[in-house]
Structure 1
């Protein structure tokens, strides 16, 4: 049975990374030379796909790699175990070495094989069970450099949703991490974050622990030509015809947003299968788009709930979506300015001219227009 034609829901395979070759090559060179990098941008724009692809290339090049996602962690001990497991996988070949140790403790032979691989790192099941959270975290933060030195390797560590580290520990975690990372000669770090304002502050504010620790790189947009080539090729794999005007309409509706474009194409594909057609028509595209927008409704509702903690945010969003002047008599101009700055900082809108703004995600704009009409 064929897999998903347009991958969704996680990092995409290498063949579905669209138009990022130069950027990936730059990331690979910088990280391999020991430079740490920070990438920030809203969720669903492809940061993680890019990060995993560059880790794959570095691993093929002979590097040790590790990755953890702070969004999935809830406390200090989980952070420590997650980082330890990610590091040790390079030596054991087991995704969760800690769990494997517990499972194999029942069989002497299975336990012995893992123990021999880890004995020089002073790591064991007893160590994990009997060590307090603070000591375990210290061990975890030191492990990338220790492992790299012992095995004569260079290592790259991916820290996804890095701004959430303070949520699962406390704000002092950044000082602790910096104290370890800055002395590691064989490890470089790739920091990702979906909250651009927080990430910019963490790496650009001289009061913050990670000030100037990593190079901040903008993620380049995908060109319309590259999207057109990719979409045409993907549909042709299923003997489906799609013309240039339909592709332009897809990109107009999605703005080339990576996740949204994939989603609209995917829903259009399934609509074609149901209709037993092999040509993408305007009618089929409309159906696919509406289905995609319905799929995104929960995501957009959550974004609106978060944004609406600020007074009158929905009012301003509605006016921008409708193309109206954001300033009106119902709201104090200073309050309007604060809301606009807030929305810009959240990467919901971007300035296009004096008093003029647009949504960074056109499908979110369409959702607001339909929801508040």
Structure 2
């Protein structure tokens, strides 16, 4: 299947992971040593792509790996079955092992090898149907440790959108998970979440089930010095001549945000294709930027409409975009603080120091300045 020159709209391949090699190596080493890790950050900054590359390298080193995404589950049973399947795939090489177990004929037709791979795991034909949702969930949460012990393997489990687990299962899921995970030997966990405040509370709050269970690591940004050679090489692979200063303009306009930078590069590339030019200029970058903003406008407008429903939020947002002080005479500081907290919770801005904030998407900041005076 043909892929675009720049990946847009989903996890990227290992060759398109820019500027995070040292961080990936660090994560691999930590997980190999059995240390669990928590990564929190807004959507579309590359968490999932980074995590899948970590799992790929761990698998190369002989570890069992499992990945599940709470965004995809409809309920407790769905999550339990998916986790069991993902764990068992390390043994069977089959994506949906439990589907085969549900069908006696298929299981028997698979021969003795398939049965041998599962017989020590207390799994019988029709296993899911014989268990209640809670029994199935408990088995799923025990399984990483069981497989690690039986096969003398490191098992690394990645949970994406981990903060959504209670929505999928129940309010006690974190306590249930901690009870199982803390006694497992040979299993390590990688927790990803897009709601930073919730994730920070889950792993640092003294009263929370996962208090100090995992190392909480900040996800590094991508420096201009990492973007420039990557973008240059990409264009060069299509025989397009580029100048470093032109590429730096792309990074400046996108702010280095992972997905926005890829999207802007993609729009610049399609501009080149349509003009028939093979030399990238500042003119092409500006045309591509205008196209990118036009495509993002409905998304940005929806965010603005949603934020405007709350008192003071839109005003505070505009002041932050201008780089001005958001605390003004005549406006109660608590109202401003609530507006800032809301913007942080919505992953529109992030705090960099006391009283200092930056936009998660610099292109959104530019959009506000250009369209809302």
- Same fold, judged at TM 0.5 (above): yes
After superposition, give the CA deviation of every residue in 1:215-269 in whole Å (9 maximum; x if it has no partner): 0111111121111111111110001112112112111111111111111111111
CA contact (8 A) 1:115 1:124 kept: no
CA contact (8 A) 2:175 2:209 kept: yes
Q: How far 1:323 sits from its partner (Å)?
A: 3.8
CA distance in 1: counterparts of 2:225 and 2:170, whole angstroms: 45
Tell me the C-alpha RMSD between the 2 structures: 2.2
Judge which range, 330-339 or 259-268, deviates more: 330-339
CA contact (8 A) 2:31 2:188 kept: yes
2:310 corresponds in structure 1 to 310
Q: Check 1:203–1:356 CA distance in 2 against 1; reply closer, same or farther (3 A cut).
A: closer
After superposition, give the CA deviation of every residue in 1:117-147 in whole Å (9 maximum; x if it has no partner): 2222122441112211000000000000111
Judge which range, 172-181 or 5-14, deviates more: 5-14
Judge which range, 300-309 or 148-157, deviates more: 300-309
CA contact (8 A) 1:68 1:82 kept: yes
After superposition, give the CA deviation of every residue in 1:2-44 in whole Å (9 maximum; x if it has no partner): 5221112222111111121111111111100000000111111
CA contact (8 A) 1:94 1:100 kept: no
1:43 corresponds in structure 2 to 43
Matches within 5 A, 1:140-159: 140-159=140-159
After superposition, give the CA deviation of every residue in 1:273-312 in whole Å (9 maximum; x if it has no partner): 1111111222221221222223334543454455445323
1:31 corresponds in structure 2 to 31
Q: Check 1:356–1:151 CA distance in 2 against 1; reply closer, same or farther (3 A cut).
A: closer
Judge which range, 97-106 or 205-214, deviates more: 97-106
CA contact (8 A) 1:104 1:110 kept: no
Q: Check 1:290–1:124 CA distance in 2 against 1; reply closer, same or farther (3 A cut).
A: farther
CA contact (8 A) 2:271 2:284 kept: yes
CA distance in 2: counterparts of 1:139 and 1:274, whole angstroms: 56
CA contact (8 A) 2:107 2:114 kept: no
1:86 corresponds in structure 2 to 86
SS at match of 1:189: strand
CA distance in 2: counterparts of 1:353 and 1:52, whole angstroms: 31
CA contact (8 A) 1:101 1:111 kept: no
1:77 corresponds in structure 2 to 77
Judge which range, 17-26 or 338-347, deviates more: 338-347
CA distance in 2: counterparts of 1:239 and 1:325, whole angstroms: 47
Matches within 5 A, 1:352-367: 357-367=357-367
TM-score by length of 1: 0.93
Structure 1, unaligned stretches of length 5 or more? none
Q: How far 1:371 sits from its partner (Å)?
A: 4.5
CA contact (8 A) 2:45 2:257 kept: yes
Q: How far 1:350 sits from its partner (Å)?
A: 3.9
Matches within 5 A, 1:273-312: 273-304=273-304, 307-308=307-308, 310-312=310-312
CA contact (8 A) 1:271 1:287 kept: yes
Question: 2:341 aligned with 1:334, yes or no?
Answer: no
CA distance in 2: counterparts of 1:35 and 1:354, whole angstroms: 31
SS at match of 1:105: helix
Q: Check 1:303–1:35 CA distance in 2 against 1; reply closer, same or farther (3 A cut).
A: farther
CA contact (8 A) 1:224 1:256 kept: yes
TM-score by length of 2: 0.93
1:241 corresponds in structure 2 to 241
CA distance in 2: counterparts of 1:241 and 1:330, whole angstroms: 55
1:4 corresponds in structure 2 to 4
Judge which range, 161-170 or 282-291, deviates more: 282-291
CA distance in 2: counterparts of 1:68 and 1:351, whole angstroms: 29
CA contact (8 A) 1:235 1:241 kept: yes
Q: Check 1:280–1:98 CA distance in 2 against 1; reply closer, same or farther (3 A cut).
A: same
CA contact (8 A) 1:101 1:114 kept: no
1:120 corresponds in structure 2 to 120
Q: Check 1:309–1:40 CA distance in 2 against 1; reply closer, same or farther (3 A cut).
A: farther
SS at match of 2:247: helix
Q: Check 1:371–1:93 CA distance in 2 against 1; reply closer, same or farther (3 A cut).
A: farther
1:218 corresponds in structure 2 to 218
CA distance in 2: counterparts of 1:104 and 1:301, whole angstroms: 53
Q: How far 1:106 sits from its partner (Å)?
A: 4.9
